[in-house]
Chain A
Amino acid sequence: DSGVTQTPKHLITATGQRVTLRCSPRSGDLSVYWYQQSLDQGLQFLIQYYNGEERAKGNILERFSAQQFPDLHSELNLSSLELGDSALYFCASNMGSVNEQFFGPGTRLTVL
């Protein structure tokens, strides 16, 4: 158990819908990272927040957005969902001053 929690574990929705994925980092960690894992693209970095501020962006679609709240939990919002958005979404965390990242168990999103 890495100490990173993610909810929900599974999410099934329809095209065009909007969903919110939630992540709670390890106690004491200030930085949260979001990754997408799909069969064809592998693990891809989406976005990083540090202490409430966006710090880095990867190839995140404009339909996707994220935020980190004062209690340091983070949410990833996915809108106008397409079939191709079906994937595993992972959150990772660290203190921000180290390079090791600790991953949560993921949310499996299925778009029908």
Chain B
Amino acid sequence: GQQLNQSPQSMFIQEGEDVSMNCTSSSIFNTWLWYKQEPGEGPVLLIALYKAGELTSNGRLTAQFGITRKDSFLNISASIPSDVGIYFCAGLPGTSYGKLTFGQGTILTVHP
């Protein structure tokens, strides 16, 4: 089936640094979603992207829908300790009726 390659797998950064992560796919997606998951919790939706080239922000988070529709990027600016968690990208092809395909996740650790 379809797979999303998410990188990096993990990041160890200092508080205040900016973070970038991305997802790539071999096939086209019509929607990209970014989620954050903390231990013992379900994924929480951060940003939704619906158009190629779209750039959307949510506070210190900015995500982009790649022009080729096969990739997406998430940036976190001025990281803080509460940014710690696992970040997942998820893609939705146009005909999938909600069958989200998830990336493997990026584990983010922020050192104070």
Which of B's residues lie within 8 Å of A, judged by CB? Answer: 1, 30-31, 33, 35, 40-45, 48, 50, 88, 90, 92, 96-105
Partner of A45, one of B35, B99, B103: B99
Q: A55-B98, A56-B96 are in contact. Are A101 and B88 (CB under 8 A)?
A: no
Looking at chain A's contact residues, the main secondary structure is strand
State the Cβ distance, B59 to closest chain A Cβ, in Å. Answer: 17
Q: A42-B104, A99-B50 are in contact. Are A105 and B42 (CB under 8 A)?
A: yes
Q: Are B33 and A103 in contact (CB under 8 A)?
A: no
Q: Are B97 and A99 in contact (CB under 8 A)?
A: no
Chain A residues, CB < 8 A from B102: 42-44
Q: Are B97 and A48 in contact (CB under 8 A)?
A: yes
Cα distance, A58 to B88, chains bound together (Å): 19
Q: Are A43 and B43 in contact (CB under 8 A)?
A: yes
**Could you list 27 examples of A-B contacts with CB < 8 Å?**
A2-B44, A35-B100, A42-B104, A42-B105, A43-B43, A43-B88, A43-B90, A43-B100, A45-B101, A48-B97, A56-B96, A56-B98, A56-B99, A58-B99, A90-B43, A96-B98, A99-B48, A99-B50, A100-B48, A101-B98, A101-B100, A102-B45, A103-B35, A103-B43, A103-B44, A105-B40, A106-B41
Partner of A48, one of B48, B98, B104, B105: B98
Chain A residues, CB < 8 A from B42: 2, 4, 90, 92, 103-106
Chain B residues, CB < 8 A from A105: 40-42
State the Cβ distance, B30 to closest chain A Cβ, in Å. Answer: 8
State the Cβ distance, B95 to closest chain A Cβ, in Å. Answer: 10
Contact residues, A54-112 vs B (CB, 8 A): 55-56, 58-59, 90, 92, 94, 96, 99-106
Chain B residues, CB < 8 A from A58: 99
Q: Are B44 and A99 in contact (CB under 8 A)?
A: no
The answer to the question of A24 belonging to the interface, with a C-beta cut-off of 8 Å to chain B, is: no
Cα distance, A96 to B40, chains bound together (Å): 26
Q: Are A45 and B100 in contact (CB under 8 A)?
A: yes
Cα distance, A96 to B98, chains bound together (Å): 8
State the Cβ distance, A104 to closest chain B Cβ, in Å. Answer: 5
